[in-house]
Chain A
Amino acid sequence: NAGVTQTPKFRILKIGQSMTLQCTQDMNHNYMYWYRQDPGMGLKLIYYSVGAGITDKGEVPNGYNVSRSTTEDFPLRLELAAPSQTSVYFCASSPDRAGTEAFFGQGTRLTVV
Chain B
Amino acid sequence: SQKIEQNSEALNIQEGKTATLTCNYTNYSPAYLQWYRQDPGRGPVFLLLIRENEKEKRKERLKVTFDTTLKQSLFHITASQPADSATYLCALGPSGGGADGLTFGKGTHLIIQP
Contacts and interface: CB of A to CB of B under 8 A. Distances in A.
A104 B100 contact: no
A90 B44 contact: yes
A43 interface: yes
Contact of B106 (A41, A45, A106): A41
> In the complex, which range does the number of interface residues on chain A fall in?
20 to 34
B105 A104 contact: no
Contact of B44 (A40, A41, A43): A43
Given A40-B8, A56-B99, A104-B45, A99 B93 contact: yes
B4 A42 contact: yes
Nearest to B6: A42
B89 A99 contact: no
Contacts of A58: 99, 101
B44 to A, nearest CB: 5
Q: Which of A35, A42, A44 has the most CB of B within 10 A?
A: A42
Contacts of A50: 100
A45 B49 contact: no
A100 to B, nearest CB: 8
B104 interface: yes
B104 A101 contact: no
Interface string B7-51: 010000000000000000000000110100000011111100101
Contacts of A102: 34, 44, 46, 102
A44 B105 CA distance: 10
A33 interface: yes
Nearest to A57: B99
A81 B84 CA distance: 37
A60 to B, nearest CB: 11
Interface in A8-52: 31, 33, 35, 40-45, 48, 50
Given A31-B100, A100-B49, 8 more contacts: A35-B104, A41-B106, A45-B101, A48-B101, A58-B99, A99-B34, A104-B44, A107-B43
12 contacts: A33-B101, A41-B106, A42-B89, A43-B104, A44-B104, A45-B99, A45-B103, A48-B99, A56-B99, A56-B100, A97-B94, A101-B34
